Amino acid sequence: MHTVRFSQVDVFSAVPFKGNPLAVVFDADGLDTAQMQAIARWTNLSETTFLLKPDDPDADYRVRIFTTGGELPFAGHPTLGTAHALRESGYRPRRPGRLVQQCGVGLVELSERNHGRWAFAAPPARITPLPAPQHAGLIRALRTDAIDFAAPPCIVDNGAPWLVVRMNSAADCLALRPDIAILAPVTRAGGTDGLAIYGPHGVDGPACFEMRCLMTGGRFGFGEDPVTGSANAALACLLDAQGRRPADTYMVRQGTALERDGRVAISHDAQGRVWIGGDCVTVIEGCFRYQEPLNGL
């Protein structure tokens, strides 16, 4: 019988059960890819991460990120949640207030920001406008006439590609009841299986924007993600590219449609980097016990 340490962290919330849960498996160097995938299928969370010794001298640690359907080179809430679990386990960063994560997209920097929240530097993003002929299919799929095409829908790829679509308002975003069967071919044609929809709140709203993230198959699986770091990073990069950044620091709310209350803090530094931050809270601590072969889980 083998054991590995395990934590389950709620990400983008300081209140348990209101954010996006993440399973973090420590000391995973003895697990192979098939074993990691089997554990990720068993946890049945949107992502499970595995902490490994880095092979890049500039990194504090290496992480592999798995959905129930496959491995991702990068994802946002796993990046923030893994760093939280590592620090809470007693790990002391080599540089106070700073961590460097090695993952599929390379090195991702994390930093302690305002109010003691940690944040990660958004990886560079490749932005591709959704071809105009596909706009009609998007309208049919979302079953709405409230899409704000003044901000053209774009595929934004920072390691986890998202089709980012702006609605006229936060209320329009929350009211959506899309047809996933029609939506899936639209996202797939853009090289992604995820749709990030957002809309602005009013001046007295709980955040600057409301966001929802819908998964249409592939490695993302199906359903709605509670709170999504990579999609918020994609949104921040797209707002900058489109000249629509509302402020140097702003907040995005996500998860409302699922009765969650995720809050994602977006900030920009003097070097022009985008930082995605939020609170985390550990909900479960323990260990996995398994026997070889693990593939049969």
Burial class (CB in 10 A: 0-12, 13-18, 19+), 168: middle
Question: For residues 88 and 90, what is the distance between their CA atoms, to the nearest angstrom?
Answer: 5
Q: What's the rounded mean pLDDT across residues 13-20?
A: 97
Q: How far apart are CA 227 and CA 204, in angstroms?
A: 22
CA distances from 192 to 14, 104, 111, 219, 278 (A): 31, 17, 29, 10, 25
Q: CA 198 to CA 255: how far, in whole Å?
A: 12
Q: What single-letter DSSP state applies at residue 130? A: P
- Name the amino acid, one letter, at 31: L
pLDDT exceeds 70 at position 296: no
Rounded mean pLDDT of the chain? 94
**Pairing verdict, β 20-25 and 48-52:** parallel
Task: Name the token pair of 297.
Answer: 């889980």
The b/e string for 224-254 (b: 16+ C-beta within 10 A; e otherwise) is bbbbbbbbbbbbbbbbbeeeebeeeebbbbb
User: What residues does 48 pair with on adjacent strands?
Assistant: 23, 66
E strand spans, the chain:
2-11, 20-25, 48-52, 61-66, 71-72, 98-103, 106-112, 118-121, 126-129, 154-157, 162-166, 194-200, 209-216, 222-225, 249-254, 262-268, 274-278, 280-290
The whole-model pTM stands at 0.92
Element (H, E) at 87: helix 76-88
pLDDT digits (tens, 9 = 90+) for 155-176: 999 988 999 999 999 999 999 9
- Other beta carbons within 10 angstroms of residue 66's beta carbon come to 26
Catalytic residues: 47
| Residues 226/234, Cβ–Cβ less than 8 Å | no
Q: Which tokens belong to 52?
A: 């490994």
For 216, phi and psi rounded to 5 degrees?
-120, 25
What pLDDT was estimated at residue 295?
55
Residue 297 scores a pLDDT above 70: no
Distance CA 79, CA 166 (A): 25
Mean pLDDT value of segment 23-34: 96
Sign of the alpha-carbon dihedral angle for 227, 231, 233, 237? negative
pLDDT score at 14? 96
Distance CA 205, CA 170 (A): 9
pLDDT at 24 over 80: yes
